[in-house]
Structure 1
């Protein structure tokens, strides 16, 4: 109960839901928005907000006056099924939304579960080569599943008292995890999407501006479904010429001065840049929380000795646990990396949406990574033959439709991405993805990125609590939560 002063009426704290069973998403959004100008409790305001009045309010304030924050109170859940992984990447490229996708690590993907792009309809020969390549990849996927499972039966004996079903499931998880690498970006997937109407409108606009027909069609369908739930809040999602031109330039041929530069595999991770004065920035930010001018805090941090600055930083995270977030002040220091890892790892890496990442169109020119389990099963040749078929089709389709060719990139093909992440995000990413539970294709690059960051600024990572610290970890094991 809220405290009140003598002589003043008591006001009782109230915390309660506005149920989507009783109110539409638009009514809830308007009810919250109206509290800025109305003194009544939310539930009393809600009784006055009919669906028609909510629409009128949104037309005037959201559409007419640009108060788009109102749309953030309208939460929309959409099920999206049987879209390509490539299109799913574009849908999931939105920071302020939540996604849960069908996992190829734990499920066996059905034969012929791949998207055939509409762009190829007018080119029957190319379409036939595309379909043949996808079928070859899925046929190889089925062969790999069988071959790897047979290998595991000989290398992974059934445990004492382990049921047949449990033993089969244990093998299948390892098998599907390895064999998914041969699947193309055309592979169909399902994804559950939760977003507020403002974010959804932006996502729809991006998709409707895509240079892929599938992306544009998905955008239209999302808009139609979104209008059923919050008609005025997603009303003006549409094709955006600026986004379309920007993406066309990115996915098109490079400028002349870049045209002769071939992409080579190179190192898997490179630390490109980092804040040399990170300790000073962090100490200043952590001092600023106590009041005063930031310029004074920065000057004070600059006057400190390095041990004093590190003492301020250490005090802020000395008690941090593996599941805790680093303080927001840690966002003032950052690191820029270039990663080269397979497409499967890239898809997982992009889920860390608090970073800033710069991707390139999917390509086969960087080579591919053979899953160790496939190699151990003696199936490297089978894998390579299927990859070769996909790469030939990629080249053929790419001559006419460079963007469409991306559908033929397998999850094993290496891709490049530049990432700028704050120290706070490093704490989260390094902890999560260096764990033994992480997929090896992303675990190894992340551990290497962590090694390079620790090498240049070790004291900033002294208090990072890792679930599974690598052998080279320079701090006592108790500092890594071990």
Structure 2
């Protein structure tokens, strides 16, 4: 019997795109209890029947996994860059953001928090924001002309050349932009994660996040009205975080003992080589992990290296490593300028713990700024940002983040598995990337290579000379 004849009952098809999001949720949810074909289930649904089902099983019983079958493509415009980083902290989603590397930002296009603008700091905030954009606009043509001299036109496409020059110029002047800069963000989330994201936003201490959360709530109420009943502030977060902060504030820390290394490996799997070999063998046997691990511990180093080599040597640049690499972890404390953070934070398939955006750790000065003799203007922008931040944070520690310039450094704790590090290091060390995050990717690789040289040698890294 031919292959097709043996499987002639198989049906693979796309659901009717005219179904509402709630109907799609119910269509797939019912298959766990009904043997009817999906299209028949869908045909029998009405808005009323879908709402009744979702109220009973999704809302009342909390069977939220089925809500993942409804997806939303949401466009956000004129939201602050600070807000986009909070939104993108929802790891199970897809995000595309307006670039600061390839687009020039307009003067005064920055977010002004009501809490600050209705306070005694309104003038301080406004003057600082305006001044940062003033310096950004003044330095742009200076840097741009220098880039044209260093990269003269060839016979290449003029549009391509202009785009290249703009990108190289923006890479320098973007350090001056405040975190309040308004941007655009495209977001794709399923219904389950949209509800959770909204709940986190309306629980946020930032007014902008609450406003964005309420705008998204209106979209949810229109598209998934029954499931939108689950939108509410998260009491656990609202109570726990302030209580933890109060407790921490009572503990004395030595503020002068602040490390300035960009990348510090603070924790990792000490026996990663054996752990990876054990995981690689595991799928081909029926023995327990412990028994395989004991056997691996008695293997020669050559045997272990051979197994790891076989697992990774045939990878092309587009191949993801085997999932066994996910069992190996590394935790890094990274201190980077906000521009670099903005790109590195997008690697959400890891665990991230963020500190607030501050001026506590100083700022970066691009080499090109020194080379062109405009360091004084640049420093005046940084000083203006810091002075405004220091004044505002006394009464508005959360909102004070908005006026911090991209050049200032911030800390984030990242825990990556080895598989994700293959992706992060290879992508973020490429020559086309911004030097700030290329340096971080290189240093992450170097730290990994110090403790696990055998595992590091299979990672594709482009070293900065």
The TM-score bracket by the shorter chain reads over 0.9
Listed one character per residue, the Cα deviations across residues 34-64 of structure 1 (whole Å, up to 9, x for unaligned) are 1111112111111011222111111000011
- Given the alignment of the two structures, is residue 322 of structure 1 paired with residue 317 of structure 2, yes or no? yes
**Corresponding position of 1:331:** 326
Cα separation, 1, equivalents of 2:159 and 2:315: 40
Give the superposition deviation at 1:237.
1.4
Q: Deviation at 1:168?
A: 2.9
CA gap 1:251/1:402 in 2 versus in 1, 3 angstroms: farther
Distance of 1:357 and 1:226 partners within structure 2 = 27
Q: Is the 8 A contact 2:425 2:460 kept in 1?
A: no
Taking the aligned partners of 1:253 and 1:174, their CA distance within structure 2 comes to 46
- State the distance in 2 between where 1:170 and 1:80 align: 27
Shift of 1:373: 2.3
Q: Report the CA distance between 1:3 and its aligned residue.
A: 5.8
Aligned partners of 1:405 and 1:249: how far apart in 2? 21
Deviates more, 1:307-316 or 1:245-254: 245-254
1:170 CA displacement:
2.3
Contact 1:356 1:419 in 2 (8 A): yes
Q: Distance in 2 between matches of 1:237 and 1:312?
A: 50
Corresponding residue SS for 2:25? helix
Match of 2:419 among 421, 424, 428: 424
Q: Tell me if the contact between 2:439 and 2:464 (Cα under 8 Å) persists in the aligned partners.
A: no
Aligned to 1:53, which of 32, 49, 53? 49
Pair 1:13 & 2:13 matched: no
Q: Does the CA-based 8 Å contact 1:368-1:412 persist in structure 2?
A: yes
Structure 1 CA distance for aligned equivalents of residues 243 and 82 of structure 2: 18
CA distance in 2 between partners of 1:250 and 1:413 (Å) = 26
Shift of 1:412: 0.7
**Pair 19,412 (structure 1): closer, same or farther in 2 beyond 3 Å:** farther
CA–CA distance in structure 2, aligned partners of residues 76 and 244 of structure 1: 27
What TM-score comes out, normalization by structure 2 length? Answer: 0.95
For residue 16 of structure 1, report the CA deviation from its aligned partner.
Answer: 1.1
Distance in structure 2 (CA, Å) of the matches to 1:263 and 1:54 = 59
**Aligned partner of 1:448 among 437, 443, 448:** 443
Select 2:140's aligned residue among 142, 145, 150: 145
Q: Which residue of the partner structure matches residue 32 of structure 1?
A: 28
Counterpart among 224, 227, 234 of residue 221 in structure 2:
227
| Structure 1, unpaired ranges of 5+ | 472-482
Partner of 1:179: 173
Matching residue of 1:373: 368
Query: 1:156: how far off?
Result: 2.5
Residue-by-residue CA offset, 1:280-322 (whole Å, 9 max, x unaligned): 1111111110131222222222222222222222211110112
1:76 to partner: Cα distance: 1.0
Tell me which residue corresponds to 1:126.
121
Unaligned runs of 5+ in 2: none
Contact in 2 for aligned 1:81/1:190 (Cα 8 Å)? yes
SS of equivalent residue, structure 2 residue 394: helix
Q: Deviations over 1:100-145 (max 9, x none)?
A: 111111111111110110112431x301110110000011110111
Query: 187, 194, 209: which is aligned to 1:193?
Result: 187
Change (3 A) 1:118 1:383: same
Quote the residue 1:116 is aligned against: 112
Identify the residue that residue 273 of structure 2 maps to in structure 1. 279
Map of 2:66 onto structure 1: 70
Which whole-Å CA distance do the structure 2 matches of 1:384 and 1:249 have between them?
38
CA RMSD of aligned residues (A): 1.9
Q: How does 1:264-413 map to 2 (within 5 A)?
A: 264=258, 266-292=260-286, 293-413=288-408
Contact 2:176/2:406 (8 A) holds in 1: yes
Aligned equivalents of 1:252, 1:322: Cα separation in 2:
48
Q: Which moved more, 1:376-385 or 1:66-75?
A: 376-385
Contact residue 141 and residue 180 of structure 1 kept, 8 A: yes
CA distance in 1, matches of 2:276, 2:77: 45
| d(CA) in 1 for partners of 2:464, 2:436 | 16
Counterpart in 2 of 1:102? 98
Q: Give, in whole Å, the separation in 1 of the partners of 2:394 and 2:277.
A: 54
The answer to whether the Cα contact below 8 Å between 1:320 and 1:465 also exists between their aligned partners in 2 is: no
